[in-house]
Chain A
Amino acid sequence: MSVAEKLIALDPLALRADFPILAERIHSKPLAYLDNAATAQKPQAVIDAVTEYYTHMNANVHRGVHQLSERATAAYEGAREKLARFVNAASPREVVFTRGTTEAINLVAQSFVRPKLKPGDEVLVSTMEHHSNIVPWQLVCEQTGAKLVAAPINERGELLLDEFEKLINERTRFIGIVHVSNALGTVNPVRKIIDMAHARGIAVLVDGAQAVPHARVDVQVLDADFYALSGHKMYAPTGIGALIAKAEHLEAMPPWQGGGEMIRMVRFDRSIWNDIPHKFEAGTPNIAGAAGLGAAIDYLEAVGMDRIAAYEAELLDWATRRLEQVAGLRIVGTARDKAGVISFMLDGVHPHDIGTIVDTHGVAIRTGHHCAMPVMEFFNVPATARASIAFYNTREDIERLAAALEDCRRMLA
């Protein structure tokens, strides 16, 4: 049965069979994996692509004239073309491979933004950013004397768009905004924000780490100057991700890291940089990771991003209503437009204890500050418990979480 046929049959159970780790037993119980916002599990096709690469293709890219190097280069550049098509970048030249979202944001901070900043200038982000879309800007502000400004959110965990717009002023040099919040699940109106910014001549970076796995993303429709993503959250290996950037920006930016691969010619008096995107890929890249990412994209396209979005929206809605029935449970982050994430508190039980107790039921969730300490501060909680879903999750996974939470209450509340 093809992947597409499985989904027509609306059978997430059949898709689960593509993910070998979901058959693991945890403390002698079946695994209910609800920590997908931390990292998604890998289908056999991705695992096979990595094995296939090391078994039949391993060589360095863009170097040798020998057959293996040709194969490795084809796998690596093939993945770039697939990713460009997947997010509708104007060209594969606009896809820079990085270790992940974090490295992509740091690249933009140092190479695009830093040369533009003067003391008193401002970089604008939101309160709901992941630390990876806060700290790189703090570093660049420290280096230049610029100021980092955070736009407020409301009690539902939604961005206050009017307030955001008011914070854009003649000192604003750059805007970073998360597409989908990893701590709250909020989907931000990034297209509107980009329009506001472009009307004032300001470029925008979108942190898309939590968006790309859940819905179709079109960087040209968004008109994003920079769009950062991580492979491992979209069913690909860890250590591979990308910065999708407009070619005009990449052409104008100085290299970030120096080394092999990113140069055309090196002399001691001066060197000439390679073309984009290679100018930003110093050193031997994560070729196996890229091959895995290519396989993950093939898999996601076969399942269909629209079908994934529809299934997950329905499951998120059902899970929200089901968990609200658990006595003492309060959801943190109730935005009208949400994806993938339910963050919550349970009366009388600290999130850390929830994590340990539900684990003994075979249920994997995340507990802590989710690398979003300002969000925790806003909601005045030390930490939350977070269930995050993927298309291979079912109502049964949620039922098992709910039962495990009842156990938490019995034991500790």
Chain B
Amino acid sequence: MDLKDLYQDLIVDHNRRPRNFRRMPDANRVAEGFNPLCGDKLTLYLKLDGGTISDVSFEGSGCAISVASASLLTERLKGATVEEAEALFADMIPLLTGKLPENAPREHFRKLAALEGVKEYPSRVKCASLSWHTLEAALKNAGQPVTTE
């Protein structure tokens, strides 16, 4: 188990300089995520244009893994279709928990593949999955904040 698999340069960089880290006043979907275990809190903003995510951003505070995960999510989903986002969500959780089959396609993860290292750290999986559960809530437009518990 090498710490470098968890804190890859890409993750450290996205933690130091989170992308799309801003409030979005004209968002049409907003969801809040909370991890009570470590106090991570984030708000995810989406602007849906038909079936396309024309803009996505987030705000909040958390550990390096949760901030980098949210930052990478926004980068990956800007311009994606809702269908694509749903498909990614369905694959991300198995990727983070080490349950993705060996031979499953991985190209669509692109930079998100850097988060796979958390599968060796069970107590940190929730940090990486928080933004994805929040995304799911935003897409479903559920009014309740999501928590990792």
Contact = CB atoms under 8 A, between A and B. Distances in A.
Interface of A: 27, 349-353, 356-357, 360, 367-369, 376, 381-383, 411-412
Contact of A353 (B16, B39, B61, B64): B64
A376 B12 contact: no
B40 A382 contact: yes
Between B1, B62, B63, the greatest number of chain A beta carbons within 10 A of the residue's beta carbon is seen for B63
Given A350-B38, A350-B63, A369-B36, 7 more contacts: A350-B62, A352-B127, A353-B65, A356-B3, A356-B6, A412-B12, A412-B16
Nearest to B67: A350
A356 B62 contact: no
Contacts of A350: 38, 62-64
Interface of B: 1, 3, 6-7, 12, 15-16, 36-41, 61-65, 121, 123-124, 127
A376 B61 CA distance: 14
A356 B125 CA distance: 12
A284 B54 CA distance: 63
Contacts, number: 52
A368 B37 CA distance: 6
A209 B39 CA distance: 24
Between B62, B64, B121, the greatest number of chain A beta carbons within 10 A of the residue's beta carbon is seen for B64
A383 B34 CA distance: 13
B121 A383 contact: no
A412 B41 CA distance: 19
Between A27, A349, A376, A411, the greatest number of chain B beta carbons within 10 A of the residue's beta carbon is seen for A411
Contacts of B1: 27, 360
A376 B63 contact: no
A350 B15 CA distance: 10
A356 B121 contact: yes
